[in-house]
Structure 1
Amino acid sequence: MRFFKKIFPYLLFLSLPLIAQNKISKSWVADLGNDFYKNPILHADYSDPDICRVENDYYMTASSFNCIPGLPILHSNDLVNWEIIGYGIDKLEPDSIFSKPQHGNGVWAPSIRYHNGEFYIYYGDPDYGIFMVKSKDPAGKWEKPLLVKKGKGLIDPCPLWDDDGKVYLVHAYAGSRAGIKSLLAVQEMNAEGTKVIGQSRIVYDGHDIDPTIEGPKFYKRNGYYYIFAPAGGVSTGWQIALRAEKIFGPYERKMVMAQGNTPVNGPHQGGWVVTPFEEDWFIHFQDKGPFGRVVHLQPMTWENDWPVIGVDKDNDGCGEPAMSFRKPKTDKNYPAATPPESDDFNSPTLGLQWQWNANPGEWWYFANPQTGLLSLYSVPVPDDYINLWDIPNLLLQKFPSDNFTATVKLTFRPSTVITGERTGLIIMGMDYGMLSLEKTKDGLILSQIECLQAEKRGKEIVNEKRTLTDSTFYLQVRVSPEARCVFTYSLDGKIFKTLGKPFMAKEGKWIGAKMGFFCSRPVKNNDGGRVEIDWFKVE
Structure 2
Amino acid sequence: MRLTLLATAAALGACTFAQAPAAAQVWQADQGDGTFRNPVLYADYPDPDIIRVGEDFYFATTTFVNTPGITILHSKDLVNWEFYSHVVQRIDGSAAYDLEGGNGYRRGLYATSLRHYRGMFYLAVTPVGLHTRIYYAPDPRGPWQYHELDREAFDPGLFIDHDGTGYIATAVNSDGTITLLTLDRDFDRVAASRKVHFVPGGEGSKIVKRNGWYYIFNAVPPRMALTVSRSRSLFGPWETREQLDDRTGGHQGALVDLPDGRWSGFVMVDAGSIGRMTNLSPVFWEDDWPIWGTPEAPGRVPERARKPIDGVPPSQLASSDGFTQASLGMQWQWNHNQDDSAWSLNERPGWLRLHAKRADNLWSARNTLVQKAQGPRSRAVVKLDIAGLRAGDRCGFGTFGQYSATIAASRDPKGHPFLRMSVLESTVSGPREDVRIAEVTISGSDLWLAANADFTTDKGSLSYSLDGKDWVPLGGTFPLAFAWQTGTFQGEQFALSCFNTQSEGGSLDIDSFILQPGDPE
TM-score (norm 2): 0.90
Q: Match for residue 337 of structure 2?
A: 359
Q: Match for residue 324 of structure 1?
A: 304
Q: Deviations over 1:33-74 (max 9, x none)?
A: 000000000111110010111111100010111010001010
Query: Cα gap change, 1:18/1:455 in structure 2, threshold over 3 Å: closer, same or farther?
Result: farther
Query: Cα gap change, 1:427/1:537 in structure 2, threshold over 3 Å: closer, same or farther?
Result: same
Correspondent of 2:272 among 289, 303, 313: 289
Amino acid at match of 1:396: V
Correspondent of 1:191 among 164, 182, 185: 185
Correspondent of 2:285 among 302, 312, 316: 302
Correspondent of 1:242 among 229, 247, 254: 229
State the distance in 1 between where 2:347 and 2:72 align: 25
Q: Match for residue 9 of structure 2?
A: none
State the distance in 2 between where 1:424 and 1:288 align: 28
Across the aligned residues of Structure 1 and Structure 2, the Cα RMSD in angstroms comes to: 2.3
Amino acid at match of 1:146: H
DSSP 3-state at the match of 2:96: helix
Correspondent of 2:136 among 134, 137, 155: 134
Deviation at 1:277, TM superposition (A): 1.5
State the distance in 1 between where 2:279 and 2:234 align: 29
User: Is residue 167 from structure 1 mapped to residue 166 from structure 2 by the alignment?
Assistant: yes
State the distance in 2 between where 1:327 and 1:173 align: 34
Q: Match for residue 444 of structure 1?
A: 417
Query: Cα gap change, 1:163/1:15 in structure 2, threshold over 3 Å: closer, same or farther?
Result: farther
Amino acid at match of 2:264: W
DSSP 3-state at the match of 1:487: strand
Amino acid at match of 2:258: T
Q: Match for residue 20 of structure 2?
A: 20
Query: Cα gap change, 1:206/1:324 in structure 2, threshold over 3 Å: closer, same or farther?
Result: same
DSSP 3-state at the match of 1:290: helix
Query: Cα gap change, 1:41/1:530 in structure 2, threshold over 3 Å: closer, same or farther?
Result: same
Q: Deviations over 1:106-137 (max 9, x none)?
A: 11111111111011111122311211111111
Deviation at 1:463, TM superposition (A): 1.4
Q: Match for residue 54 of structure 2?
A: 55
For structure 2, the residue ranges without an aligned partner over 5 or more in a row are 1-12, 517-521
Identity of aligned residues (%): 30
DSSP 3-state at the match of 1:217: strand
Amino acid at match of 1:282: G
For structure 1, the residue ranges without an aligned partner over 5 or more in a row are 1-12, 175-179
Query: Cα gap change, 1:411/1:181 in structure 2, threshold over 3 Å: closer, same or farther?
Result: farther
Question: Contact between 1:203 and 1:249, CA under 8 Å: does it hold in 2?
Answer: yes
Amino acid at match of 1:357: N
User: Is residue 538 from structure 1 mapped to residue 515 from structure 2 by the alignment?
Assistant: yes
State the distance in 1 between where 2:379 and 2:46 align: 23
Question: Contact between 1:277 and 1:329, CA under 8 Å: does it hold in 2?
Answer: no
Q: Match for residue 516 of structure 1?
A: 495
User: Is residue 413 from structure 1 mapped to residue 384 from structure 2 by the alignment?
Assistant: no
Across the two proteins, how many residue pairs are aligned to each other? 494
Residue range with higher mean Cα deviation, 503-512 or 472-481: 503-512
Q: Match for residue 6 of structure 2?
A: none
Q: Match for residue 8 of structure 1?
A: none
Q: Match for residue 423 of structure 1?
A: 395
Q: Match for residue 401 of structure 1?
A: 375
Q: Deviations over 1:173-205 (max 9, x none)?
A: 26xxxxx5322210110112222112x222222
State the distance in 2 between where 1:435 and 1:54 align: 45
Query: Cα gap change, 1:415/1:407 in structure 2, threshold over 3 Å: closer, same or farther?
Result: closer
Q: Match for residue 501 of structure 1?
A: 476
Amino acid at match of 2:325: S
Deviation at 1:86, TM superposition (A): 1.2
DSSP 3-state at the match of 1:93: coil
Question: Contact between 2:284 and 2:295, CA under 8 Å: does it hold in 1?
Answer: no
Deviation at 1:499, TM superposition (A): 1.1
Correspondent of 2:506 among 529, 533, 538: 529
Residue range with higher mean Cα deviation, 445-454 or 343-352: 445-454
State the distance in 2 between where 1:518 and 1:232 align: 34
Q: How does 1:1-40 map to 2 (within 5 A)?
A: 20=20, 23-40=22-39
DSSP 3-state at the match of 2:366: coil
Question: Contact between 1:402 and 1:483, CA under 8 Å: does it hold in 2?
Answer: no
Query: Cα gap change, 1:380/1:112 in structure 2, threshold over 3 Å: closer, same or farther?
Result: same
Q: Match for residue 348 of structure 1?
A: 326
Q: Match for residue 126 of structure 2?
A: 124
Query: Cα gap change, 1:490/1:185 in structure 2, threshold over 3 Å: closer, same or farther?
Result: same
State the distance in 1 between where 2:245 and 2:433 align: 41
